[in-house]
């Protein structure tokens, strides 16, 4: 490879950082053929939503607080960075749901929130009797559904399991992870197992149950066989991004913050075929990785091919996270579980609840426990609920505390509270997303420009890391091919 090759990565979230790690040789480290690497980040820090702060005497994540450990990408990266000793498994399981004014334990054997047997719903008193009938029907005389092209998650669930189960039981989990609505989210892109089960026909629940096999539905057994479902890092998930930046800089990767890329242009007559511009710099590049949200990537590349302007349609939901420390004597939590789900449109006083989920941080993560205290986090906001944006931090803390008092029975005055707002960050994969991304990638294929990040290959830390590393491998292969006589 020509030693003068230069790769610019636009966007310093975990996908962009992971791309830089792969380009710079990953665990092997740089060699003489490693290109010059420059990572350009618009905000004042790298890591995107991976941020941490001191709160009530602990280091607490302000964005993601853990990651799926049954996918390898985040664990592998932590291992390569030498962070094995920092990894901590989740130390609780199960959750509750707020149904018709009562907290109920979620049944076991759910596949990403979808029940896999009608029997498992028996214990849920907050569901009407008529809501159980479609589940019974799905097991014994499943409704037909022709699924060829992509369809919304909600369309499958409503047809097979009825509206009440869809909106009251399943949407809080499936939609909650994306801060989106099941009626808009793509089954193919967001919940491929559900899409495949619907395509197979027959009973949706039996099909999902068969998929889970001895895995998710086996509960404790699965934990023993497959390892913990979620993990974090003792110093916060954000420490993964911080350590990555440190080691990248040590390797000579140029990391620039407070530098928004405003344009990328072909410069065929120059040494480098591309130029990446910020307000005050122009960097030559042999190849570019765009690890920004899709609309930014669309804006930067739409002049190359009209197809790329469709990337602007990848909407993103925002969220606010309100973290509380309460005195244990002032707060009653359900006896078990990592948190609570709250269905959308749950009535509260004369309004609708803003809180969509509550995470018991110090139940999930043992290292956050302190004698006599409870540490929890409320999640607020959805793609179609931006009410929190109109409230000051103080007003939001008060509102959420009052909602928690309803759900938990009682909570005292917080010992500490902190609001973290994420105005964007949860891309919405609408129906047709997979095809939209494929078209964009096809349009970029003739150019040495690749897309990476949570707008394309899955939301979540492992998927974003995988996406960044894959884009980097493709770029290395392109550069290698270009330098081969």
Ligand X SMILES: Cc1cc2nc3c(=O)[nH]c(=O)nc-3n(C[C@H](O)[C@H](O)[C@H](O)COP(=O)(O)OP(=O)(O)OC[C@H]3O[C@@H](n4cnc5c(N)ncnc54)[C@H](O)[C@@H]3O)c2cc1C
Nearer to ligand X, 131 or 296 (CB): 296
Task: Kindly state whether residue 38 participates in binding ligand X, applying the rule CB under 6 A.
Answer: no
Task: Kindly state whether residue 453 participates in binding ligand X, applying the rule CB under 6 A.
Answer: yes
Nearer to ligand X, 124 or 456 (CB): 456
CB of 462 to ligand X, least distance (A): 6
Nearer to ligand X, 43 or 199 (CB): 43
Q: Binding ligand X by CB under 6 A: which of 6, 8, 13, 21?
A: 13
Site string for ligand X, 40-79 (x = CB under 6 A): xxxx----xxx------------xxxxx------------
What is Dmax (Cα atoms) for the chain? 73
Q: Using CB under 6 A, which residues numbered 112 to 131 contact ligand X?
A: none
Task: Kindly state whether residue 319 participates in binding ligand X, applying the rule CB under 6 A.
Answer: yes
Question: Number of C-alpha atoms within 13 angstroms, CB side, residue 100?
Answer: 7
Nearer to ligand X, 97 or 319 (CB): 319
Site string for ligand X, 395-434 (x = CB under 6 A): ---------------------------x--xx--------
Task: Kindly state whether residue 229 participates in binding ligand X, applying the rule CB under 6 A.
Answer: no
Task: Kindly state whether residue 26 participates in binding ligand X, applying the rule CB under 6 A.
Answer: no
Nearer to ligand X, 257 or 327 (CB): 257
Other beta carbons within 10 angstroms of residue 406's beta carbon come to: 16
Task: Kindly state whether residue 172 participates in binding ligand X, applying the rule CB under 6 A.
Answer: no
Task: Kindly state whether residue 461 participates in binding ligand X, applying the rule CB under 6 A.
Answer: yes
Q: Binding ligand X by CB under 6 A: which of 5, 8, 16, 35?
A: 16
What stretch of H or E contains 92?
A: none
Give the Cα separation of 381 and 163 in Å (integer). 22
Smallest Cα–Cα separation from 343: which of 264, 411, 407? 407
Task: Kindly state whether residue 454 participates in binding ligand X, applying the rule CB under 6 A.
Answer: yes
| Buried-exposed string 102-117: b where 16+ CB fall within 10 A, e elsewhere | ebbebbbbbbbbbbbb
CB of 145 to ligand X, least distance (A): 30
**Residue matched to tokens 């047709």:** 432
Specify the 3-state DSSP secondary structure of 435.
helix
Residue 474 near residue 288 (C-beta atoms within 8 A) = no
Q: How many residues bind ligand X (CB under 6 A)?
A: 36
Give the Cα separation of 170 and 115 in Å (integer). 8
Q: What is the 3-state secondary structure (H, E, C) of 268-283?
A: CCCCCCEEEECCCCEE
Task: Kindly state whether residue 261 participates in binding ligand X, applying the rule CB under 6 A.
Answer: yes
Q: Give the list of residues 6+ apart from residue 224 with CB closer than 8 angstroms, or none.
A: none
**Beta strand pairing call for 282-285 and 274-277:** antiparallel
Nearer to ligand X, 229 or 328 (CB): 229
Window contacting ligand X (CB under 6 A); options: 99-107, 340-348, 436-444, 454-462: 454-462
CB of 74 to ligand X, least distance (A): 7
DSSP 473: H
Task: Kindly state whether residue 182 participates in binding ligand X, applying the rule CB under 6 A.
Answer: no
Nearer to ligand X, 162 or 466 (CB): 466
Both tokens assigned to 284: 């030559």
Nearer to ligand X, 6 or 131 (CB): 6
DSSP 432: T
Other beta carbons within 10 angstroms of residue 343's beta carbon come to: 21
Q: Binding ligand X by CB under 6 A: which of 8, 9, 11, 357?
A: 11
Give the Cα separation of 448 and 451 in Å (integer). 10
Residue 46 near residue 10 (C-beta atoms within 8 A) = no
Task: Kindly state whether residue 464 participates in binding ligand X, applying the rule CB under 6 A.
Answer: yes
CB of 142 to ligand X, least distance (A): 33
Task: Kindly state whether residue 334 participates in binding ligand X, applying the rule CB under 6 A.
Answer: no
Nearer to ligand X, 38 or 138 (CB): 38
Give the Cα separation of 52 and 230 in Å (integer). 18
CB of 177 to ligand X, least distance (A): 8
Question: How far does CA 474 lie from the centroid of its chain?
Answer: 24
Q: Give the list of residues 6+ apart from residue 380 with CB closer than 8 angstroms, or none.
A: 319, 320, 321, 322, 354, 355, 356, 388, 396, 400
CB of 343 to ligand X, least distance (A): 20
Nearer to ligand X, 45 or 251 (CB): 45
**Sites of contact with ligand X (CB under 6 A):** 10-16, 40-43, 48-50, 63-67, 260-261, 291-293, 296, 319, 321, 422, 425-426, 453-454, 459-461, 464
């Amino acid at each position: 490879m020509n030693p003068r090759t230069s790769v610019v990565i636009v966007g310093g979230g975990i996908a962009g950082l992971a791309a830089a790690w792969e380009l710079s040789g990953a665990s092997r480290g740089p060699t003489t053929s490693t290109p010059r690497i420059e990572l350009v980040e618009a905000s004042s820090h790298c890591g995107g939503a991976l941020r941490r702060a001191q709160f009530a005497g602990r280091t607490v994540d302000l964005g993601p607080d853990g990651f799926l450990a049954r996918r390898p990408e985040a664990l592998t990266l932590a291992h390569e960075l030498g962070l094995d000793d920092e990894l901590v498994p989740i130390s609780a399981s199960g959750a509750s749901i707020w149904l018709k004014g009562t907290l109920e334990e979620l049944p076991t054997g759910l596949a990403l929130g979808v029940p896999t047997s009608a029997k498992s719903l028996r214990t849920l008193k907050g569901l009407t009797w008529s809501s159980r009938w479609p589940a019974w029907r799905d097991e014994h005389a499943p409704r037909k559904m022709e699924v060829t092209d992509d369809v919304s998650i909600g369309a499958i669930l409503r047809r097979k399991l009825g509206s009440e189960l869809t909106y009251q039981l399943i949407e809080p989990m499936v939609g909650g992870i994306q801060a989106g609505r099941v009626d808009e989210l793509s089954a193919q892109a967001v919940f491929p197992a559900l899409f495949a089960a619907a395509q197979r026909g027959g009973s949706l629940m039996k099909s999902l149950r068969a998929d889970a096999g001895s895995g998710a539905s086996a509960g404790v057994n699965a934990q023993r066989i497959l390892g913990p479902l979620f993990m974090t890092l003792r110093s916060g998930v954000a420490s993964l991004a911080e350590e990555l930046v440190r080691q990248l800089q040590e390797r000579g990767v140029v990391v620039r913050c407070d530098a928004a890329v405003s344009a990328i242009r072909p410069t065929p007559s120059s040494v480098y075929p591309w130029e990446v511009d910020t307000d005050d710099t122009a960097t030559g590049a042999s190849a570019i990785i765009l690890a920004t949200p899709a609309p930014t990537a669309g804006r930067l590349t739409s002049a190359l091919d009209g197809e790329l302007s469709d990337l602007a349609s990848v909407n993103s939901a925002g969220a606010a996270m309100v973290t509380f420390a309460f005195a244990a004597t002032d707060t009653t939590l359900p006896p078990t579980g990592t948190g609570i789900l709250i269905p959308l449109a749950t009535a509260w006083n004369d309004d609708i609840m803003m809180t969509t989920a509550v995470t018991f941080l110090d139940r999930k993560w043992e290292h956050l426990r302190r004698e006599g205290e409870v540490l929890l986090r409320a999640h607020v906001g959805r793609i179609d609920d931006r009410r929190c944006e109109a409230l000051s931090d103080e007003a939001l803390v008060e509102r959420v505390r009052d909602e928690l008092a309803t759900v938990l029975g009682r909570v005292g005055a917080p010992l500490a509270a902190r609001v973290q707002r994420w105005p964007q960050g949860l891309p919405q994969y609408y129906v047709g997303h997979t095809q939209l991304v494929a078209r964009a990638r096809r349009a970029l294929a003739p150019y040495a420009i690749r897309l990476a990040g949570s707008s394309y290959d899955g939301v979540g830390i492992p998927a974003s890391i995988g996406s960044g590393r894959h884009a980097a491998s493709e770029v290395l292969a392109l550069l290698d091919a270009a330098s081969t006589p």
